[in-house]
Amino acid sequence: MCGIAGILSPDPAGISRQRLKEMTDAIAHRGPDGEGFWINPSGEVGLGHRRLAIIDLSPAAAQPMHYLDRYTILHNGEIYNYLELKSLLQSKGYSFTTASDTEVILAAYDHYGPECLQYFDGMFAFAIWDERERKLFAARDRFGEKPLFFYKDATQFLFASEMKALWAAGIKKDSNRKLIFNFITIGYTQNPANGFETFYNGISKLPARSYLIYMADKGELTTGLYWDIKIGESYSPGEEAAIQQFTGLLSASVHRRMRSDVPLGTSLSGGLDSSSIVATVLASAKYSANISHDQGRHPRRLQTFSAVFPGFEKDESAYIRLASNYFHLDNHMTEPRSVDLVRDLEKLVWHQEEPFLSSSIYAQYKVFGLAARHSIKVLLDGQGADELLAGYHKYYHWYWQELYRTDKKAFVLELEAARESGVDDRWTWRNRLAANLPVYAGIFLKKKRSASQRNSKELSREFVNQFGVSYYDIPHIDKLSGVLYYNTFMNGMEELLRYADRNSMAHGVEVRLPFLSHELVEFLFSLPSHFKIRDGWTKWLLRTSMESYLPEEIVWRKDKTGYEPPQRTWMQDPVLQEYIHESRRKLVRADILRPAVLHKKIQPHDAHAAENNDWRYLVTAACLATI
């Protein structure tokens, strides 16, 4: 895990070690273990790197790394199956001088070209300069765990792990008011129809599962998608076969993501997903083989890290203690408070660069900081399971609509089972409309959402008139698998992964996500919907697979907390309220809000509330001021 930055320009005057250092200094937190720079002989390509050493800690694995007197690479992330790929490439005649995964990328690219991406199981953003063909090849992992931003004008092409590195190189900071409108009204900073768009004009994001090629002599940039999955159900195994295949794929993913030359731990929220990762780690032969002992007597316990909120109704301390005692974990807890949020808000926004939907992001930030203070540099986490296994309550509606259209008897049984499980989501005429006429339902919902945005009583009329057509396009989806695909690849998961990347890198910690093995994801999308939701339970396959490994109270929890801090209480803090008032004033001066909003009382809301306007004003204004 690292920070990378590069400049390509036909004018060598635009490329210097000093300019590269300014870029990498801006992202030094991503790589506290070293730095490196390289400018090609003609002075038209400059590369900079900040290192977080995880695999092969020797100087030989430092970057920029050169290969065959032709290629030079910058790499941020990990290729988890690098050992298997290394053996494959050795069988084809390649030899290696380091134990790093970065050198494996270079050999794979030399042998397979861009098709090498099909072989990688990992999280990555890398860029390879080919001196012979004078082109840059860059790519990003399948889900967007690792970031890559770029800027292009008539005289230069720049790229970096974070936008602040581009700003350090002199690129203008110009906020994208269309996405400000999008975020304030519906809470998203993404444009589902354009994965390149960012919160700042002129700066593009390479979308997940994409590559780019920049031909230096012509100044030509091309991009493409290198991976996709089919969402049609193509595989319907029996229950036992599905459970065995799922647990096998998850175990293999965890095993690969435990490869590290530095200390490793896990997050533990007390929920099903993180507890499943803990259970799988402890069941891994790799963990048993690598376990150390205190003077040969006491096995080292797995270190886990949690955020707790004593006194809050959604505090998960009881479940965290249950898992910790059950597995004999060495659990560490942090208790984020409103005073901490006030102190850290500017720093948090600086790291995130774009707005974030709730204070849950701060709780995650504190957990990763806690891991760093205990010298943990690799942290496994359960993120991704909700989107892949239908963990959110909103997915009930999609499944019910699918059943209503195809199997009325199963629909009635599932609706009754959900009620017995405590699900209070209602089945209404809108759901029947969506089930029978999904295209028209999508149009109806989009019109309703757009009207709500345009009629906002707090946004300035000029702002609404200029940007009042939302980027949020209601998809015409008629199956559960369709909405899971949409949230995984189009709008949802990548934003959550951005939070995790910036929060972990702020503390020099590498977060690894076993649920995001592409082999596991392909398997899950091949299954019928009833493996995800069944008998009134979300994530049915995960719950059933974990029955033998986890306490029943965790496997069959009825509540879905969602890593939630007491945001409503925090927003009643007088200092934070003054921050919100000042945020309103800034947005009024920017012609985003109407002056009348200055006279309204602050409306504290829970972290996941739909109408969380004051929180959105707070972080939007902070982004405009801080970045």
pLDDT per residue over 336-359, tens digit each?
999 999 999 999 999 999 999 999
CA–CA dist 511, 3 (Å, integer): 14
- Give a yes or no: residue 526 inside a domain: yes
Q: Is the predicted pLDDT of residue 295 greater than 50, yes or no?
A: no
- Give a yes or no: residue 561 inside a domain: no
369 and 437 housed in the same domain: no
514 and 439 housed in the same domain: no
264 and 378 housed in the same domain: yes
Domain boundary at 442, 472, 490, which?
490
177 and 209 housed in the same domain: yes
462 and 503 housed in the same domain: no
Span 73-92, mean pLDDT? Answer: 98
Domain boundary at 456, 490, 524, which?
490
339 and 204 housed in the same domain: no
54 and 159 housed in the same domain: yes
The C-alpha angle 111, 112, 117, rounded to 5 degrees, equals: 130
Provide the CATH number for the domain around residue 73.
Answer: 3.60.20.10
- Give a yes or no: residue 598 inside a domain: yes
Cα of 312 vs its chain's centroid, Å: 27
- Give a yes or no: residue 232 inside a domain: no
pLDDT value for 38: 98
530 and 577 housed in the same domain: no
Give 315 or 425, the one with higher predicted confidence: 315
CA–CA dist 468, 38 (Å, integer): 46
Strand partners, 299: 293
188 and 275 housed in the same domain: no
- Give a yes or no: residue 560 inside a domain: no
- Give a yes or no: residue 375 inside a domain: yes
What percent of the chain clears pLDDT 90, i.e. is strictly above it?
78
pLDDT value for 626: 67
Cα of 598 vs its chain's centroid, Å: 35
pLDDT value for 297: 41
pLDDT value for 296: 44
Q: Is the predicted pLDDT of residue 472 greater than 90, yes or no?
A: no
- Which tens digits make up the pLDDT trace of 226-244? 999 988 767 788 999 999 9
CA–CA dist 561, 535 (Å, integer): 20
- Give a yes or no: residue 69 inside a domain: yes
3-state SS record for 83-121: HHHHHHHHCCCCCCCCCCHHHHHHHHHHHHHHHHHHHCC
Of 134-143, 399-408, 441-450, the least confident: 441-450
- Which tens digits make up the pLDDT trace of 41-59? 999 999 999 998 888 788 8
Q: Is the predicted pLDDT of residue 201 greater than 80, yes or no?
A: yes
Domain boundary at 500, 528, 555, which?
555
CA–CA dist 529, 519 (Å, integer): 18
Which contiguous run of DSSP H or E holds residue 229? Answer: none
Of 87-91, 463-467, 583-587, the least confident: 463-467
Span 150-179, mean pLDDT? Answer: 97
452 and 321 housed in the same domain: no
| Residue 6, φ and ψ in degrees, nearest 5 | -155, 155
Q: Is the predicted pLDDT of residue 365 greater than 70, yes or no?
A: yes
- Give a yes or no: residue 297 inside a domain: yes
Span 406-416, mean pLDDT? Answer: 92
Q: Is the predicted pLDDT of residue 70 greater than 60, yes or no?
A: yes
Span 481-505, mean pLDDT? Answer: 95
The count of domains in the chain is 4
Provide the CATH number for the domain around residue 332.
Answer: 3.40.50.620
358 and 379 housed in the same domain: yes
263 and 218 housed in the same domain: no
- Which tens digits make up the pLDDT trace of 536-586? 999 999 999 999 999 999 999 988 776 789 999 999 999 999 999 999 999
Name the residue among 39, 44, 35, 45 with its Cα closest to residue 17.
39
Range of the domain at 13: 2-225
Which residues carry out catalysis? 2
